[in-house]
Structure 1
């Protein structure tokens, strides 16, 4: 089945706004939160019982008021239960968007700042309250007082639209996305890194046309990128998984699908060098469903997911109590899955009740955040919070 563009994105966000997410552009990824971990909190101790954590994760999703009446929220990242940030835009008029950042203080969301004009932030990485990166139409850095635009490196394949961002312990910042010359169907995967003074384009293996929508960094020499390799007239669309070993990026084979089945990865999280999860979607016969795969240090293996129509997954991460989560959806469908390690499958949980653009776990907590737009209404920015509790 030929598909020249990723099925990952709903048609809201960067595309309709300029004509979503990149989320609308998102992803990721990451969904995402991106790891940056922008999805994800510290990994649970080795040998922890994820099933036990799952059984304790009793809670519910609840909408949290935001100080934006119309627009879109595209990414969220949390440092703690009292420190979280979300980015997106508000519509000042029907044709005038304003990029902005919100901050959670433990009690409420408030507008903290506006981003440079035409930023269209889609992914977020937070090292500290004074060291935040947002990427979208370009990259911008927050130093605690103001945002500074940091233009991306030129790419011969066209303007770069990053969909994910992650930081590493050596001070570098990484973005992943696509370079687009004329149209989305001609996009090629693109990765760049900030070395402290400028963004530098990275050499990638020849993977053809496609895009990257998720990033997860374990160490400066252990980084994963996830996305999509577009199909052609004779080949199906496949999940695209790349690994950085400190020297070069290499493609790692994703689990093969059935003939005629298109697959894509939307988000990725790295828990350990032998414990990586990528999530996305698969479509066959015109019906989409969730897709998830796991890296055990040697190979990627497909994991069992519930059969949910329009249940594409956008992001994945592990909460502070050890529970592994994946979220996503399409249109009016939103979905949250939880990993059951005893049954070795993903199980459906309570509906996040938002058109999911971004997701974040909360370090040292069982709580989760999702951001996006409401399922009803016209571009109503929405934040929902899952308050987990131990029984």
Structure 2
């Protein structure tokens, strides 16, 4: 989700289409829009050419100049990954043709931009011949997307990117070789891996957001033993180092974080019994967001959150649980 203005919110995802003959599933990229200045009802956004794509919308980014991007998945024909650019009040769907050579089944998971001429996108793919994992880092220079190789990080998963300025960019994720979380920083000249707290078993970061160069937050999960129930993880960067911020006991994996007024943040995620939603301020610490009570027959999962002033929007889905596993039912958007 993203908010191009204080009154407008975009929520992107996919329509799930199942083939009744063979049970196969395809995705049609889909977006909804809510404008408080025009009644506040959610309406589906026109995405011309969306039916030609088998892709989700995985992330949306806006910039102060009114531009915006969204990113998605690589088409089954092995071409580029889905890119949406917001130009002159409408979305234009194109393909990122700058993926690393021979990459298949790629997904761009995150995008961030400071203008229509400067953006970054990250994700993952696989090599066509050996199906080896490929980290994908892309840079937009106003004309085309180019693949960027980050030194020393060949076997890792970039999950989220945040661009404060062309010389201040963060990428977080997970190092497959060590099983530990990764936080990389671009200063306009080089990429540097900044040490994050290590855990006896593993850790991963799913989201990162920055207020200033000395106020950066990242969230995910950690484990001290193999197969342990993942514990929520919140880290803060003060311009020098990452520090773990203690969470309430029992907090499960955190999926997303957004900035809130007065130096605060809001985080969402999930556990075995209910969706997790909390806010944090320097003076009050952690408080519940008061997400709806979980219905055992129709559980709620949440994975995105965006804030503008006192407005807060959470995106997720409802699912059904059974002995054979969980099955997706429908998307969910919560507002407050």
TM superposition score normalised by structure 2: 0.81
Among 263, 275, 281, the residue aligned to 1:334: 275
**How far off its partner does 1:92 sit?**
4.6
In 2: Cα distance, 1:239 partner to 1:341 partner: 25
Answering whether residue 165 of structure 2 is matched by residue 206 of structure 1, we say no
Match of 2:31 in 1: 101
Q: 1:173 to 1:152 in 2, by over 3 A?
A: farther
Contact 2:108 2:123 in 1 (8 A): yes
Answering whether residue 243 of structure 2 is matched by residue 301 of structure 1, we say yes
Task: Specify which structure has the higher proportion of strand.
Answer: 2
Answering whether residue 265 of structure 2 is matched by residue 324 of structure 1, we say yes
**How far off its partner does 1:379 sit?**
2.4
Answering whether residue 8 of structure 2 is matched by residue 78 of structure 1, we say no
In structure 1, list runs of 5 or more residues that go unmatched.
1-75
In structure 2, list runs of 5 or more residues that go unmatched.
20-24, 74-80, 295-299, 321-326
Contact 1:119 1:135 in 2 (8 A): no
Match of 1:90 in 2: 15
Match of 1:219 in 2: 165
SS in structure 1 at match of 2:306? strand
Match of 1:374 in 2: 318
**How far off its partner does 1:325 sit?**
1.1
- Report the RMSD for the aligned CA atoms in angstroms: 2.7
Among 265, 270, 275, the residue aligned to 2:210: 270
SS in structure 2 at match of 1:206? coil
Among 132, 145, 168, the residue aligned to 2:114: 168
Match of 2:302 in 1: 356
**How far off its partner does 1:337 sit?**
2.2
Match of 2:85 in 1: 141
In 1: Cα distance, 2:91 partner to 2:207 partner: 29
Which is bigger in relative contact order (C-alpha 8 A, separation at least 6)? Answer: 1
In 2: Cα distance, 1:96 partner to 1:325 partner: 32
For residues 41-96 of structure 1, the C-alpha deviation after alignment (integer angstroms, 9 at most, x for no partner) is: xxxxxxxxxxxxxxxxxxxxxxxxxxxxxxxxxxx111334211111112354445
**How far off its partner does 1:131 sit?**
3.1
For residues 104-157 of structure 1, the C-alpha deviation after alignment (integer angstroms, 9 at most, x for no partner) is: 022111011133522321011123797331111122223223422132413147
Contact 2:57 2:70 in 1 (8 A): yes
In 1: Cα distance, 2:216 partner to 2:160 partner: 12
Q: 1:292 to 1:146 in 2, by over 3 A?
A: closer
TM superposition score normalised by structure 1: 0.70
Contact 1:332 1:375 in 2 (8 A): no
In 2: Cα distance, 1:96 partner to 1:169 partner: 32
For residues 272-308 of structure 1, the C-alpha deviation after alignment (integer angstroms, 9 at most, x for no partner) is: 1111111100123311110011111111111111232
SS in structure 2 at match of 1:326? strand
